């Protein structure tokens, strides 16, 4: 960091010399880790470029459709581009998915029937899925449980590993298991993300016992962090959000599902309705943004990942426990920081908010967010509302007060945001 930058930060943002010293040490430590990321980014850029070329994407794919949206060539071709990138038969990429939860919900509702059991092998799934499954207190809203779909869960072992013995045992003894739910990212958990190799091992374990079981992966935050995706190693169905990695910060909204054709098709009947599926749906002129975002996504995802890694090192030097550590292998863009202190956690989130390009003047406060059981604080000064490929931090207000940081469209912005946040934490006053 040059002198001009430091002076600017000290003068305009009250960043202390102490925080800048921590930064100087951290940036040196992370430089080797960054080199590896550049190779992954390069590979994924090639993968995306080649998929766009192979589907002969042209200006005409960016035109708008109206009404039913029959024959929207931009929409149909983007499905094919995604299917190529994910090395699978079929994909459903739509602005009509209101978020990642909706895409995951369509995948589950589309493929599970009364009497089937859904088995989570990664402990409690992401908070917003609890209402879908019917394991929260929200009854009467049409959860899977209300439609007679059963649910089982296998927790991580005490050392936070996948419990393969238990998976084998449960599947051998329960022929009603129709779908295994695998969550790649940490969600609001204190655990590492699942590597592609671990996902592969889970799938192999499941399929050896019963090849008919659908292996579903919640791929949120995982896209382009590795050279492979879950569908490269046998996942039957995956889903994710377009305002995370794969939208590249440009997609204004939406979600995707990808995988085996028969499962994607079933899911499409829950995006719309039976008989219609993915063949209808006008696209409001957003297709160019979905394509352009996808093109940028390998780069943007790595910018975000670099931010997470720097954050890990900075916060660790500052004395906080972090997960993963800066030099751990990663499979998502999430950085968890444990504060053990409610006020420090809130100050950190406020700092990220103050460092944002949009709504930097706002004070974020804990609130009762739909779909979450604890109060949640969310720092998000984003160009696209709630976009978490943009620099953002959020936390359920519960012990041990862990903040989850993710995103950053540019590494430089992530860096500044983190320095402001740490300054606020260390000064520990409003």
Give the residues lining the site for ligand PLP (CB under 6 A). 99-101, 104, 126, 128, 183, 185, 187, 218, 220-221, 241
Q: Which residue lies nearer to ligand PLP by CB, 213 or 389?
A: 389
From the CB of 92, what's the least distance to ligand PLP, in Å? 16
Q: How far apart are CA 340 and CA 369, in angstroms?
A: 22
From the CB of 71, what's the least distance to ligand PLP, in Å? 29
Q: Which residue lies nearer to ligand PLP by CB, 44 or 331?
A: 331
From the CB of 275, what's the least distance to ligand PLP, in Å? 27
H or E element: which one contains 10? helix 3-13
From the CB of 396, what's the least distance to ligand PLP, in Å? 13
From the CB of 406, what's the least distance to ligand PLP, in Å? 9
Q: Which residue lies nearer to ligand PLP by CB, 57 or 162?
A: 162
Looking up tokens 């092998």 gives 121
From the CB of 186, what's the least distance to ligand PLP, in Å? 7
Closest CA to 294 of 71, 77, 89, 90: 77
Closest CA to 79 of 328, 312, 265: 265
Q: Which residue lies nearer to ligand PLP by CB, 181 or 299?
A: 181
Q: How far apart are CA 316 and CA 324, in angstroms?
A: 11
How wide is the angle at C-alpha 344 spanned by C-alphas 343 and 345, nearest 5°?
90
Burial classification of residue 46, based on how many CB atoms lie within 10 Å of its CB (0-12 exposed, 13-18 middle, 19 or more buried): exposed
Closest CA to 323 of 185, 418, 124, 415: 185
Q: Which residue lies nearer to ligand PLP by CB, 331 or 347?
A: 331
Q: How far apart are CA 211 and CA 221, in angstroms?
A: 27
Instruction: Report CA torsion sign: 187, 189, 190, 191.
Output: negative
From the CB of 222, what's the least distance to ligand PLP, in Å? 9
Q: Is 336 helix (H, G, I), strand (E, B) or coil?
A: strand
Q: Is 179 helix (H, G, I), strand (E, B) or coil?
A: strand
Q: Which residue lies nearer to ligand PLP by CB, 89 or 155?
A: 155
Range 131-161 burial, b when 16+ CB lie within 10 A, else e: bbbbbbeeeeeebbbeeebbbbbbebeeeee
H or E element: which one contains 377? strand 376-380
Tokens representing 327?
A: 């030099």
Q: Is 238 helix (H, G, I), strand (E, B) or coil?
A: strand
DSSP state of 247: G
Tokens representing 129?
A: 């899925």
Q: Which residue lies nearer to ligand PLP by CB, 241 or 301?
A: 241
Q: Which residue lies nearer to ligand PLP by CB, 323 or 425?
A: 323
| Position of minimal CB gap to ligand PLP | 100
Q: Which residue lies nearer to ligand PLP by CB, 185 or 268?
A: 185
How wide is the angle at C-alpha 143 spanned by C-alphas 142 and 147, nearest 5°?
80
From the CB of 15, what's the least distance to ligand PLP, in Å? 30
The number of residues in the chain equals 430
Q: Which residue lies nearer to ligand PLP by CB, 193 or 289?
A: 193
From the CB of 205, what's the least distance to ligand PLP, in Å? 21
Q: Is the peptide bond before 42 cis (omega within 30 degrees of 0)?
A: no
From the CB of 333, what's the least distance to ligand PLP, in Å? 10
Range 80-92 burial, b when 16+ CB lie within 10 A, else e: bbbbbbbebbbbb
DSSP state of 428: T
From the CB of 381, what's the least distance to ligand PLP, in Å? 17
Q: Which residue lies nearer to ligand PLP by CB, 244 or 306?
A: 244
């Amino acid at each position: 960091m040059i002198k001009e930058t430091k002076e600017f930060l000290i003068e305009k943002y009250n960043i202390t010399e102490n925080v800048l010293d921590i930064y100087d040490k951290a940036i040196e430590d992370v430089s080797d880790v960054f080199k590896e990321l550049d190779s992954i980014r390069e590979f994924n850029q090639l993968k995306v470029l080649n998929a766009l070329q192979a589907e002969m994407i042209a200006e005409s794919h960016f035109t708008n459709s109206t009404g039913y949206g029959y024959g929207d060539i931009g929409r149909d071709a983007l499905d094919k581009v995604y299917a190529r990138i994910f090395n699978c038969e079929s994909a459903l990429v739509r602005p009509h998915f209101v978020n990642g939860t909706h895409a995951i919900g369509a995948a589950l509702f589309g493929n599970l029937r009364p009497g089937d059991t859904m088995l989570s092998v990664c402990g409690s799934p992401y908070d917003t899925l609890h209402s879908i499954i019917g394991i929260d207190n929200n009854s009467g809203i049409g959860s899977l449980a209300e439609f007679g779909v059963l649910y089982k869960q296998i927790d991580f072992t005490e050392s936070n590993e996948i419990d393969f013995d238990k998976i084998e045992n449960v599947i051998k003894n329960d022929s009603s298991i129709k779908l295994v739910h695998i969550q790649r990212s940490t969600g609001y958990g204190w655990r590492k993300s699942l590597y592609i190799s671990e996902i592969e091992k889970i799938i192999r374990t499941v399929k050896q016992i019963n090849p008919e079981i659908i292996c579903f992966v919640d791929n949120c935050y995982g896209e382009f962090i590795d050279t492979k995706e879950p569908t490269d190693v046998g996942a039957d169905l995956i889903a994710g959000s377009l305002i995370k990695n794969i939208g590249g910060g440009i997609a204004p909204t939406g979600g995707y599902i990808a995988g085996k054709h028969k499962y994607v098709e079933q899911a499409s009947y829950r995006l719309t309705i039976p008989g219609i599926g993915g063949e209808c749906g006008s696209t409001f002129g957003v297709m160019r943004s979905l394509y352009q975002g996808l093109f940028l996504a390998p780069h943007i995802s790595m910018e975000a990942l670099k931010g997470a890694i720097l954050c890990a090192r900075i916060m660790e030097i500052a004395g906080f426990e972090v997960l993963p550590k800066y030099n751990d292998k990663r499979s998502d863009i999430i950085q968890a920081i444990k504060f053990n202190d409610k006020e420090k956690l809130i100050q950190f989130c406020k700092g990220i908010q103050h460092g944002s390009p949009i709504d930097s003047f706002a004070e974020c406060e804990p609130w009762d967010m739909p779909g979450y059981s604890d109060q949640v604080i969310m720092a998000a000064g984003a160009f696209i509302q709630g976009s978490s490929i943009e620099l953002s931090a959020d936390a359920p207000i519960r012990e041990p007060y862990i903040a989850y940081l993710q995103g950053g469209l540019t590494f430089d912005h992530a860096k500044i945001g983190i320095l402001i946040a740490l300054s606020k934490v260390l000064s520990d006053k409003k």
